[in-house]
Amino acid sequence: MNGIEEKIIKTEYSDIMQKSYIDYAMSVIVSRALPDVRDGLKPVQRRTLYDMYELGIRYDRPYRKCARIVGDTMGKYHPHGDSSIYDALVVMAQDFKKGMPLVDGHGNFGSIEGDSAAAMRYTEARLQKLTQEVYLADLDKQVVDFMPNFDETEREPEVLPVRIPNFLVNGADGIAVGMATSVPPHNLGEVIDAVEAYMADHDITTEELMQYVKGPDFPTGGIVINKDDLLSIYETGMGKIHLRGKVDIEKGKNGKQNIVISEIPYTMIGANIGKFLNDVAALVESRKAAEITDISNQSSKEGIRIVLELKKGADAENLVNMLYKKTHLEDTFGVNMLAVVDGRPETLGLKKVIEHHVDFRFELATRKYTTLLAKEKEKREIQEGLIKACDVIDLIIEILRGSRSQKQAKDCLINGNTEGINFKTKASERKAKGLCFTERQATAILEMRLYKLIGLEIDALLDEHKKTVANIERYEDILDNYDSMADVIREDLERIRQEFAVPRKTKIENAKAVVFEEKKIEETDVCVMMDRFGYVRCVDQSVYERNQEAAAAESRFVVQCKNIDKLCLFTDKGNMYQVRVLDLPYGKFRDKAIPIDNFCQYSSAQERILYMDALENIRQQKLMFVTRTSMCKIVSGTEFAINKKASLSTKLAEGDELVLVGEISAMEHLVLQSRQGFFLRMLLSEVPEKKKPALGVRGMRLAPGDELENAYLLACRVDYTVEIQDKPLTLNKLKLAKRDTKGTKVRR
């Protein structure tokens, strides 16, 4: 027992949690979410590309099913679920997300408008030529270190030998624990120019580098409008880039104009295109952009084309400025150039990124030419042995014929050991004792075929030897001289530029802040109608007057007000909601109405509207509130003049609710009706005026288990009749009583 107790280690629980969380956070940061500054790839991207390379899915070979690629990657290198691998594969194939796509996708790989890719069992993929020649070349030359995979049954590269600054060219985005990276894509040709400029002068400043890298180059084009801020962003690696879509004003039919959007901000790709169209439609419905008569999305595989048709004489420039101000047509891209550097996350400026890349390129070149030099020296050794063997070929044939085994012959070639070998003459034996070939040379001689003794073959061997010697001299020069290696790297970058560079798509400029004149809405008289189902619509006052009878018959509430006013909706749960009249659908009398739920937080499934009027009307009135438990009060309308979309209209006891909300300006009596058949008619003067938070006073003294069913406000000298068990009851003829009494029992 004592032995067991001695093995128990007591540790503070908070310390264990802290250490475990930090370990988890660093694992997510380094092994999942952030790219390595050397190849600009996250682990899932690196493993997917390497697996495609291993499977031989090259750019000049047939496509292979994505399901095969995903399954192989997950089984060998990335055991984190197929969806993360397929998502990474899809993004690397989307030319609207990546500056230079790394995967050539075949099938439905999604669209710029947010459509998702087809399932991986339907799509196919292969490597792009750029990926194969610039990202994966030289893996066989020991240019990068390999490490065991998760179960130590395979080996994978720690980093890919990428020969361009992919961290800049394709950008990056990722969310880790407590940090995130967001790097915009850049133009390949400009980045190569900047790398060459840095190699020529290590003391070059960020400002001088930006003579080559003008700024981000988004695959969706658009315009960067804060050029002056870019220097600070590229020096610190952090900041905000302001983007605008490209907008042209074209001539339409009948002298009208069209606003045509041909390029969008990078941040708008995906669902935000649909949101943009909805935002424009909302501006039209709210009559802020009433000059827009039609919205059509004519985008296709050829590119973005969104057309907004305008009314004749519309101010197109002002509308464009409104779109920049009110929609995502002008947006912000947050830059945070965070990458993994030597196993740790670090925020990098433009110069630092290029510096790390150049260091990596020199490391790759050093390892590559070290490997090539070793191979060429080995080749030279063998070639020299074969050339030397050709001069004494008769002696070598005599040794082979006189030897009893290959081992014996090889020993003679290397060490001159003639023991046990039969020679034709003593002179041959003396010559054999002077042989001193190396191990590799002896092996090559023994494996040499007789046709190699043909004169032309010997000449070819001599020519090949000259080339090998020249290669060795060149490789040694590259490895020994910085300038020579730099020239090789520059030549390689120039080849990459000539074959793969594309023109810039994004414009960089300093644009003035958007200024647009929001036209003052013309004040008009309107009528808002709501039916018993809660559907609401708004018509002009003159339209209402022509259809007054139909409106009264079909509507539960009819409110005459100004178009700039607000509607106040009072519900049985004691809530008040405000809706701008301008937000309501406006049109003809028989136009389609829309549920009021769409314009405020009111839910028809949970509460019921008791009263509706314009805020300007309510300000000048007093409202009566009556609850289910017979609590009554009068509240001044000025208390509801607040600028809140939703608020409490009154205080209610737990479980209580309102049965009546109504204005009392022309009313004289209040009638309360209980479920057990009691009616109480009293003067309004008996109900005191209270504040909103007050519960009120008791109106009718209810019997146990009874509650109010209805409440009515009666005007002067106007009869009001209700049906009680199919029999009419005139409320005005009920006995007038005092507040807080039982009232009169009416037989049912």
Would you name the residues annotated as active-site residues?
A: 122
Q: Alpha helices, DSSP H only, in 639-711?
A: none
What are the b/e assignments for 451-480, b being 16+ CB within 10 Å?
eeeeeeeeeeeeeebeebeebbebbeebbe
Task: List all residues 6 or more positions away from 383 whose beta carbon is below 8 Å from its beta carbon.
Answer: 461, 464, 465, 468
Distance between CA atoms of 347 and 747, rounded to whole angstroms? 84
CA-based nearest residue to 632, from 706, 684, 571, 584: 684
Long-range contacts at 644-649 (CB < 8 A, ≥ 24 apart):
644/578, 645/577, 645/578, 645/600, 645/601, 646/575, 646/576, 646/577, 646/578, 646/600, 646/601, 647/575, 647/576, 648/574, 648/575, 648/576, 648/692, 649/570, 649/571, 649/574, 649/575, 649/576, 649/625, 649/692
Distance between CA atoms of 87 and 84, rounded to whole angstroms? 5
Helix (H, G, I), strand (E, B) or coil at 94: coil
Distance between CA atoms of 163 and 189, rounded to whole angstroms? 13
Query: Can you say how many angstroms the Cα of residue 716 is from the centroid of all Cα atoms in its chain?
Result: 65
Residue 50, both tokens:
């390497």
Residue 652, both tokens:
């209610």
**Across 25-85, where does the E strand assignment appear?**
64-65
Distance between CA atoms of 396 and 436, rounded to whole angstroms? 12
Site of tokens 């058949």: 677
Helix (H, G, I), strand (E, B) or coil at 643: coil
Residue 8, both tokens:
């128990």
Could you write out the DSSP letters of every residue in 573-621?
TSEEEEEEGGGS-EE-TTSPPEEGGGGSS--TTT--EEEEEEHHHHHTS
| Residue 414 burial class via C-beta count within 10 angstroms: exposed 0-12, middle 13-18, buried 19 and up | middle
For strand 292-297 and strand 257-263, is the pairing parallel, antiparallel, or unpaired? unpaired
| C-beta separation of 288 from 582 below 8 A | no
Task: Please tell me the total number of residues recorded for the chain in this structure.
Answer: 748
How many angstroms separate the most distant Cα atoms in the chain? Answer: 154
| Residue 64 burial class via C-beta count within 10 angstroms: exposed 0-12, middle 13-18, buried 19 and up | middle
Could you write out the DSSP letters of every residue in 345-362?
EEE--HHHHHHHHHHHHH
Instruction: Provide the 8-state DSSP code for 31.
Output: I
Could you write out the DSSP letters of every residue in 277-344?
HHHHHHHHHTTTTTTEEEEEE--BTTB--EEEEE-TT--HHHHHHHHHHHSTTEEEEEEE-EEEETTE
Residue 650, both tokens:
């009154």
Residue 584: phi, psi to the nearest 5? -80, 150
Signed CA dihedral, 584, 587, 589, 591: sign only: negative
Distance between CA atoms of 239 and 182, rounded to whole angstroms? 10
Label each residue of 133-200 as H, E or C: HHHCCCHHHCCCCEEECCCCCCEEECCCCCCCCHHHHCCEEEECCCCEEEECCCCHHHHHHHHHHHHH
